[in-house]
Structure 1
Amino acid sequence: MGPVLGEDGVLRCPWAGGPGVMRDYHDTEWGRRVDGEAGYLERLTLEAFQSGLSWSTILHKREAFREVFVGFDAETVADFDEGDVERLMTEVRIVRNRRKIEAAVANARATLALRDDVGLEAFVLGFAPEVPPAPEDTDQQATTSAESVALSKALKKRGFAFVGPTTMYALCEAIGVFDPHLVGCHRQGVA
């Protein structure tokens, strides 16, 4: 399936065809570059929490995630201890999954360690594809790539968790490492 025409007369990727939070995310954020360590850590964390769930669920809980993970400040989250994990396990406004919460803390610590090298942002951008995909329809869209597999392995070696190849592909789409929009979508080719 190619781009779909919304009731507003605009062509979009099929998952964003109707009004609501998903379309708003598609039109204003998805595939646009993110800047800064906190922005990258937020998207990496949210993609990990999304694993096995709908993205809509995560978007509806996003403000709560931002609050409980203190704006995704790596230094603050890296200092979370078992008491903080227990506190977050009782927080009904977020996804309460112990392994994912512990991964968020581990990933904040790994992010701090990356500061001694190139930093999280430059590290992720180092895995951008030389030839970005340009799918014309959903049958041509991938869920992994050689680059997302390599990024996953490299992050795991650096102590990151919940960073599988599919999750890293979704991260790269979300933060504009490459343009994920279908050819013909009004957002395709727009930075």
Structure 2
Amino acid sequence: MRGSQGLRARLLGSALGLTLCVASPAAQAAQNVVFVSGAFRRSIPVADLVHLAETGQARGLLEDVLRLARQDPETVAKLLNESVNLPVVLVSRLLNTRIGEVLLQRLAQIVFPLNASSVGLPALRSAVILGIADNSKGLSALSFLQAYPSQEMAVSLPALMGLMGKASSISDLVRFFAESPLDGLRGEGGGGGAATRAAGSTAPPAAAATMKP
């Protein structure tokens, strides 16, 4: 038991250290989700997402976006509050394997710190681990955002749309993320596959997607 607690403490300590390295001292959580496409920038405050999750009511730009997308605010609020209970030590170990890193590389092409896209992968890893550790109910969209080590979390619209274009259903999306790390490792073995291209790409790293059955 003591050994397990000691390992947990070391893992959380490492994750916290990573957060402090990636973020500035004043930036311990995402303040804005910034949708980007070329010169296009639109920001939604995380506070508005928290307000939606707590009240079921949207405000500001978020209200306009949901209305245009014909999404019910109360339904979106439920999604924001849904959590997945995951063992933090197991997740930390998985994300530090080669397969875990290739998966994070995929995700980091979609979600990354706005002004530091090169650290998209460690930022994702840190947010997932701390998002689980800091929330007694497990990882949720809000706990992820509140643990994300950058005030401005960018979401690449072209990368997001490209991902959705490959997935006509949730099962396709799950299959894409389940198979892509293995494809990357097979590509590395052949001298240049998906993981190699991702590592050499000049595009900003990471894709964070919430998958529901």
Per the shorter chain, which TM-score range? Answer: under 0.3
Which structure shows the higher helix fraction?
2
Which of 1 and 2 has higher RCO (CA within 8 Å, sep 6+)? 1
TM-score when scaled to structure 2? 0.25
Which structure shows the higher strand fraction?
2
